[in-house]
Each structure stands twice: as structure tokens, then as C-alpha cells.
Amino acid sequence: MRLELDEVRRLTGPNLLWDEPGAILDVFISGTDKLAVIQTWQQWMDKLLLAFGWQQTHTYRLYSGGASMALSAPMDALYVACDLAELAWDCCVAEFDQQPLPDWRNRLDELRIELNDELNPRLITLLGLAKQKGVSAISDDDEFSLGMGASAEIWPIRALPDPQQLDWSRYSDIPRAFITGTNGKSTSVRLASEIAKAANFCAGVTSTDFIKVGDEIIDEGDYSGPGGARMLLRDSRTEMAFLEVARGGILRRGLPIEKVDAALITNVASDHLGQYGINTVAELAQVKFVVTKGLADTGVLVTNADNPWTVEQAKYVNCEICWFSESASNPLIMKNLSEGKPVVYADNGKVIYVDNIGQKTTATAIKDIPMTIAGAAHHNVQNALGVVGLCMALKLPLTAIRSGLHSFGSDAQDNPGRGNLYHYHGATVMVDFAHNAHSVAAMINTAKQMPAKRYIVMFSNAGDRSDSEIRNLTQAVADLNADMYLVAEIEKYLRGRKPFELVEIATQALIAAGIESEKIVTQDSPVKGAKLAKQIAKDGDVILLFTLDQRDKVHQLFSDTDSLE
């Protein structure tokens, strides 16, 4: 029997289990009845809550190999809630193992002292009043704020204002949207920002690469969680916000804010399975669709009618949906049109938008959108369709949408690491961050649209992927039928794997796919692989470099060449 605690953490926003803030435990359960374990935890939770004097609720979610269990709590008591939920788990495990129980009464006494230090009654009052008055409030461990952008006012969490002294009318929101999906998130927030800029908004972006306001990158790193959203929405320069919301952030903390005007789900595909109890693509789709919990009453969900996982999960949401598709005859496009609901689709090489009163508008020709490479990059055609739907939902003018689509390039300045094109000695070089089978397949299909005397491809893997995921990604690469495969090691992404273990798995997967061993070359790093590709490049070659790491160095390697924008 295995009863093991994986992680305890705070939930600060709407999340996969429910809309409540609180504490969540992820646990491993095997060799015994899961429901019996959950019921025992719940019994202990009820007993501890009664003794503690709390009237909170709890829930759970079962998954292969374990469960998630959540306890609701006020925003000023989340740390104590984590400790309380963990104490119930410790008592549950002791009971199942037939071991002496923890001294839970003494532990409750300790938690009462900790709770007194954590409680912040004025915070709770302010949060309640903000909701009552329709004002956005954002809180974290250090700060509390009301309003967004230029109207935002921030206080230290332990020096909050008197609610009766506030002029609540001065606080207002800015237009804002969530953007999520397995692939295309970063491209979509950047493109949307370019469109907002064309509409004379100072747009802010959070993403897995950086946080940016206008043309200024505030900081680089993964800002796809609540911390990045708070920083951006509190910045007085931000007039419109596009918030990339990644799977990890949703599962770790929940949504970064409670309400947005629109949300875009680009697609759902296999990636990062086996983490936080998300073991199937169907479960991953459920995580992505958590963003619909953050839609305002009039909010619009824009999502992919060509993706089976978004199509299936959309059946369970209750909001207006603007479908996008590469086909005008997609059944969901036709259904929305018949029902007077908005759609975006590609037809005869053009991007078409139809609003909810049936007015049909041609946004632009696909060949005039640089990132689509004249339509060869189908994944970026889909990204463009989704962003058009999102920006129309945000009521941005068509002229700005068209201008942004035309000016947003496939270069390292506009969209670093996403389909960046270079020209070197007559060879076309494409650099991309694709790191799962779905995104790699999209780039392989793009490369296939480019006439080539030879194809050369470099790729790597991260150690937190399963062997199966690595083989699936490798199969997607093998489908290029390249003349050379450069398999690069990434030391910083081994994540517990042995040196060159990932390279060996990928090499064997290439051979199993029918690739001759003479075409396979291993490299110590992406930069070394890129240097070799550059050395052997010939006129007419198409070189595809998947750079999970050292992207800036690879860019520098080719930056003295002419970009194919």
C-alpha cells in the first residue's frame, strides 16, 4: 500500500476543482481503495474543522495513481488551511497504517497561534466591498491593489486603507483577456499586443518568456502565472492586457484574476502529462478550459473548431463561443452562423470574420500575414484566426487588426523562438521553440511546404517528458525525411536523467522509424548543432532548428544574415 503526500499548496483563484480559494493536496494512492482513503481524509477534515472552529468545505478529484483534495479558506488564512489539510492527511495515513495518531490537538493549538498572525480582517472587508462595488481587487503576500492600469492603487498588505475613506469611483478596469492552449500561446499574446498597439493602446503582455508593457520588457522569465498578471495589471502604463495562462499556473494557484472580457484557447494536445494528476489529454483539456470560469457575464470564449479536444470540452461550458477554423465548411462554423453567433474562418486565402448579427468582414489575405509564410505555416494561420476572434471580442477596430497582422513578423524581434526565418548562403533557416509532438509536427509540416534540395533538422528533449512522449516527438521529426538529423543534448534540461540518456532514446526512436544511422549526428548542445548546420549549409537547403535552449546564441549565429520576413 502506498499513501504518499506529493505537494500541498495554496489556491488563490478559480481552479480545476472549484472556484474557491483554499488549500490543495496532491497525494499518491495505490494498493488500497482510493475512495476509502478520501472518505477517511474527509472524516478527519470534518473533525479537525469542528475542533478548530472553522466552517469550511472540502472537495476532491480522483485520477490514475492518486487524488487531489481541496479545503476552502478565506484569502487571509491560506497557509493555515494548507497545514490543516495536511494534518488531516497525516491522521488519515496513520489510521490506514495502523500507527499512532499525530498529536492533532496540540497541533491545532499551534495552528490557532499561527492563524492569529495570518488573519487580516481589513483585507477580507476590502475584498468584499470591492466585489460589491464592482471594483477589481488583487492581493498577494505583500501587496493589495484596487483598480487596474492608470487607476490602480497599491498598499502594503499590512498597511491597508480604511475602506470608508476610499473614493471607490476612481478605480476602473482595463480591457483584458486570458490566452491559453498547448501551443501558440506566446505567439498569440504577442500578435494581440501588436494589434492593440496599432489601435493606440499601450498593451501589456505576460508570457512564459517575459512580461512586457508597450515596447519595454520589464523582466524575462516565466510570467504565465498570477505573479506576472499582478505586476502587469498594477502597472500604471498598461491600457490593455493579454495574459498568457499556462497549465502549470492554473494547477498550482488557479486563475490569476477573477474576471476577463474574453479568453482564447488555441488548441489542446499531449504535453506535460503525468504532472499534478493530469495524466490524459482529456484531463489537460479540462485544465485549459478553467479560463472560462474567469469570463465576465458578457465575456466571449474564442476557441478552435479544428481541434477535437477543444470541441469536446466546449460542450461543458456555458458562455458565448466564437469558433475559428481553417475551413468555412467546418460543422461548428456552420452551426454558429445558423444561430447568429460569431465565427472566424479561412476561405479562398482570406481571413473572414462574421459577427453575431451576421455581418461578414474580410480581415485580410493570409498571404499578407508574414508569420504564416504565405499560408505554409498552418499553425500560424490558426493562431491568426484565433487572435482575430479575440481582438474582435475586445472590440478593437478592424483597421488595427489588419495593421497588426501585417506588421507582425516571423523574426526574433517580434516573435522570438517562434518560426524565426533566416537566409544563409542560399539556405532557408527556421528556428523554433517547439517542444512537444504537436508543435513539432506543425513545424515539420511548415518545412515540407518549402521546396528543398536537402532538409536538415536539429532537435532535443527535456528530461521531464516520459520516454513515450520523447519517442512521439522524435517520430514527428522523422516524418520530415531529412538528409541529416542533429540530436542535441541539453544539460540544463536533463531533470534527473543521465547524461545523453535523452539523446540515446531519440536516436533509437529515429532508427526504429527507419532513419539510417548515417544520417544521425549527436551534439553536445543546441549551439554546437546549429554551428554544424551552418557549416554544411548549401544553396537550396531548408534547415529546421528546434531550440529549447540557447535560443539567443543561435539567433546571434544567424543574425548577421538577411532575415526572410
Q: What is the pLDDT, as a whole number, of residue 536?
A: 87
The stretch 103-127 carries a mean pLDDT of 96
Average pLDDT over residues 181-197: 94
Residue-level pLDDT at 273: 77
Q: Which pLDDT value is given to residue 462?
A: 86
Provide the 3-class DSSP secondary structure of residue 118.
helix
Supply the pLDDT for residue 92.
97
Q: Please answer whether residues 431 and 417 qualify as being in contact, where contact means their C-beta atoms are separated by less than 8 angstroms.
A: yes
Residue 254: phi, psi to the nearest 5? 95, -170
Summary mean pLDDT of the chain: 92
pLDDT at 282 > cutoff 90? yes
State the pLDDT confidence band at 410, using cuts at 50, 70 and 90: low
Q: Which residue has the cell 531533470?
A: 495
Determine the pLDDT at residue 392: 97
Strand residue runs (E) in 188-319:
203-206, 210-213, 216-220, 240-244, 260-265, 295-304
Quick one: pLDDT band at residue 412, thresholds 50, 70, 90? low
Q: What are the residue ranges of helices labelled H in 215-343? A: 226-234, 247-253, 281-288, 308-313, 331-338
Mean pLDDT of 170-199: 95
Predicted pLDDT of residue 263: 98
Residue predicted with more confidence, 433 or 564 = 433
Q: What is the pLDDT of residue 520?
A: 93
Cell triple for residue 556? 546571434
Q: Are 265 and 288 in contact (CB under 8 A)?
A: yes
Q: Does the structure show a pLDDT above 90 at 557?
A: no
How much is the average pLDDT of 409-438? Answer: 77
Find the mean pLDDT for residues 553-563: 67
CA quadruple 485, 489, 493, 498: dihedral positive or negative? positive
Contact 472, 461 (CB under 8 A): no
Round to whole Å and give the CA distance between 292 and 260.
9
How would you class 9 by CB atoms within 10 Å of its CB: exposed for 0-12, middle for 13-18, buried for 19 or more? middle
Residues ≥6 apart with Cβ < 8 Å to 320: 298, 299, 300, 301, 341, 342, 356
pLDDT of residue 556: 79
pLDDT digits (tens, 9 = 90+) for 291-304: 999 999 999 999 99
pLDDT in tens, 53-77: 999 999 999 999 999 999 999 999 9
Decide: residue 219, CB within 10 A, 0-12 exposed, 13-18 middle, 19+ buried.
Answer: exposed
Please count the other Cβ atoms lying within 10 Å of the Cβ belonging to residue 540.
13
Name the least confident of 84-98, 231-245, 273-287. 273-287
- pLDDT score recorded for residue 330: 97
Tell me the mean pLDDT in the region 424-429. Answer: 86
The residue type at 239: E
User: pLDDT at residue 272 above 80?
Assistant: no
Closest CA to 305 of 335, 270, 260, 347: 335
Residues near 319 by beta carbon (within 8 Å), at least 6 away in sequence: 292, 295, 299, 300, 301
Q: What is the mean pLDDT of residues 129-133?
A: 95
